[in-house]
């Protein structure tokens, strides 16, 4: 039996007792605002240096970094986080549409999951300046590369997906599997969200989570 609820931009489906699905399309969030129960934070900075807002693109609402403090232009070690702990994720699938808009130091971004706090989480990200797709773990603010794949994507919207099961995770871009890795540094379930680095101004849409 299926149960569905709509809460602002949150759509929840309880398909079975062991399966929980949630999606954010930002359509019910007013332009200039952010979805409720989401946190904007940074790793390696005491203050939030990036402004996350819902914007209108054509007829769709999208989530975008609309403004970045100038200090990020000269410091590439700040990670911009936008996540919610209202969704508890350990194993399952997460996907999002993303578009790299600009950035001199860095561009692109991606998905963060098993988020314990602003200094402890997993990341999958694509960077068009480097033409690579990577997995990272961030523990106590220390980012460590777990896997990398070289790939060039044309400008515009693309789909990223990760699949997590225990210590094993896979990474996909536009439906193609490019990353396969194992890591057990973060074993507890945690929040889910979006991640960019330094001055990367990126747009996101259709963020979906299936927790198993």
Q: Is residue 122 part of a domain?
A: yes
CATH classification at residue 54: 2.60.120.560
In this prediction, residue 52 has a pLDDT band, given cuts at 50, 70 and 90, of very high
pLDDT value at 12 more than 50? no
Instruction: Identify whether the C-beta of residue 21 lies closer than 8 Å to the C-beta of residue 10.
Output: no
- Average pLDDT (13-35) is 81
Provide the domain count of the chain: 1
**Alpha-carbon dihedral sign for residues 178, 165, 160, 48:** negative
Range of the structural domain that residue 73 is part of: 26-211
For residue 30, the 8-state DSSP code is: P
Instruction: Provide the whole-model pTM.
Output: 0.89
* 132 contacts: CB under 8 Å, gap ≥ 6: 126, 148, 149, 150, 151
In this prediction, residue 50 has a pLDDT band, given cuts at 50, 70 and 90, of confident
pLDDT value at 161 more than 90? yes
**What's the rounded Cα separation, in Å, for the pair 20 and 130?**
35
pLDDT value at 75 more than 70? no
pLDDT 10s digits, 170-199: 999 999 999 999 999 999 999 999 999 988
Q: Is residue 45 part of a domain?
A: yes
Q: Is residue 47 part of a domain?
A: yes
For residue 4, the model assigns a pLDDT of: 33
Q: Is residue 8 part of a domain?
A: no
In this prediction, residue 152 has a pLDDT band, given cuts at 50, 70 and 90, of very high
* 196 contacts: CB under 8 Å, gap ≥ 6: 50, 65, 79, 80, 106, 108, 109, 125, 202
Q: Is residue 6 part of a domain?
A: no
Nearest to 29 by CA among 52, 54, 56: 54
């Amino acid at each position: 039996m299926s149960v569905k609820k709509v809460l602002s931009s949150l759509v929840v489906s309880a398909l079975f007792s062991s399966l929980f699905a949630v999606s954010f399309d930002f359509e019910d969030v007013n332009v200039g605002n952010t979805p409720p129960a989401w946190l904007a934070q940074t790793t390696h900075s005491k203050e939030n240096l990036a402004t996350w807002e819902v914007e209108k693109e054509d007829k769709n609402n999208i989530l975008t970094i609309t403004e970045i403090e100038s200090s990020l232009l000269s410091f590439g070690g700040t990670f911009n986080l936008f996540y919610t702990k209202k969704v508890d994720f350990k194993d399952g699938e997460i996907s999002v549409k993303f578009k790299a808009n600009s950035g001199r130091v860095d561009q692109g971004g991606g998905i963060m999951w098993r988020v314990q706090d602003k200094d402890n989480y997993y990341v999958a990200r694509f960077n068009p300046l480097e033409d690579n797709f990577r997995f990272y773990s961030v523990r106590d603010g220390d980012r460590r590369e777990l896997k990398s794949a070289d790939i060039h994507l044309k400008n515009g919207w693309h789909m990223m997906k990760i699949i997590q099961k225990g210590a094993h995770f896979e990474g996909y871009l536009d439906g193609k599997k490019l990353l396969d890795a194992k890591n057990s540094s973060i074993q507890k379930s945690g929040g889910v969200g979006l991640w960019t680095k330094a001055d990367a101004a990126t747009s996101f849409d259709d963020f979906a989570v299936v927790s198993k």
